[in-house]
Amino acid sequence: MKGKIALEEHFAIDETLLDSRGFFPDDVWAEVKDRVMDLHGRRIRLMDEHGIETMILSLNAPTVQAIPDPKRANEIAIKANDYLAEQIAKRPDRFQGFAALPLQDPDLATRELQRCVKDLGFVGALVNGFSQVNDPNNIVYYDMPQFWDFWGVLESLDVPFYLHPRNPLPIHSKIYEGHSWLMGPSWAFGQETAVHALRLMGSGLFDKYPKIQIVLGHMGEGLPFSMWRVDNCNAWIPNRHNYPAKRKIGEYFQDNFHITTSGNFRTQALINTMLEIGSDRIMFSTDWPFENIDHAAIWFDAATISEDDRLKIGRTNAKKLFKLK
């Protein structure tokens, strides 16, 4: 398929490059480093080869979210966003941008979001999970009360928010001890992000701000498979669930969430996701440079879905959500 739009596609700046180092063995790091620092060379050649017209670019993880000092987090976010805007200006026909945000301080994050959308022309924000604030072991999730004004501004700007994974902190990772292979994209990323997303759904956030749209990668971080059970666990027990939200969790999933195929190139998983959330809320992505563009594109172009759904997932859903020309 030609004209695909991909929206979980990462870059790094010098200050954030090493945040990606720990996920890869020594003999692979040189390749990953070359990929993540490149924008206009190999990346565009691969886009051309595999029918990707546009990438929406975002900073690598966890970067800004892992800087406990709010002032320093803001400085790095501004630097990364300015760099990204400069690169997009060189190829506006191929690239769009997500803002990096210092959510250690909701006011700083709000101002940076407004600047990126209004002044830099970014089409949304991508945030790498929870933020560490002041103390490296002090973390905040975005259903907490101090973030609700930020969410109100996001809704008023009418741009989506991509909730991207990061690993849980070591102090919260006892279950993974002796099994480091479960950290990162194989499991911990998805578990951490799915719980964060469920917190948002159950908090009542979408009752107050019903137009907010959240994007999850990796075929929904396991949530499409689990959503029925989340709502129906022990359904024979009256008032089993107790949370501030006014509706079933699955209703928010269907109304306020979108899913991408980043890093999950499995037709069975795609069909399950289509049955749960609908093909109008799924979008193609690759997760370059951490996954392969050819793996993503070759799989998607041959997936056993209808051509109408392929066009929507590969292109038109993203055009509509991000108001791309």
Q: Which of 161, 145, 163 has its CA nearest to residue 113?
A: 161
What's the pLDDT at 23? 86
* Domain assignment of residue 180, given as a range: 4-322
The total of structural domains in the chain comes to: 1
E strands of 167-285, at which residues? 214-216, 257-260, 282-283
Q: What is the pLDDT of residues 22-40, one digit of tens each?
A: 889 999 999 999 999 999 9
What's the pLDDT at 80? 98
What's the pLDDT at 22? 85
Q: Which two tokens stand for residue 181?
A: 């292979």
Instruction: Indicate the pTM of the whole model.
Output: 0.97
Q: Can you tell me the distance from the alpha carbon of 98 to that of 85, in angstroms, rounded to the nearest whole number?
A: 10
Q: Can you tell me the distance from the alpha carbon of 58 to that of 64, in angstroms, rounded to the nearest whole number?
A: 12
Amino acid identity of residue 141, one-letter, is Y
What Å distances lie between residue 222 and 186, 195, 313, CA to CA?
12, 10, 18
Q: Which of 204, 223, 59 has its CA nearest to residue 125?
A: 59
As a whole number of Å, the end-to-end CA separation of the chain is: 19
CATH of residue 41's domain is 3.20.20.140
DSSP category for residue 315: I
- Residues labelled catalytic: 287
Amino acid identity of residue 63, one-letter, is T
Amino acid identity of residue 217, one-letter, is G
What's the pLDDT at 322? 98
E strands of the chain, at which residues? 4-11, 52-59, 95-99, 124-127, 131-132, 139-140, 161-163, 214-216, 257-260, 282-283
User: Which portions of the chain are predicted below pLDDT 50?
Assistant: none
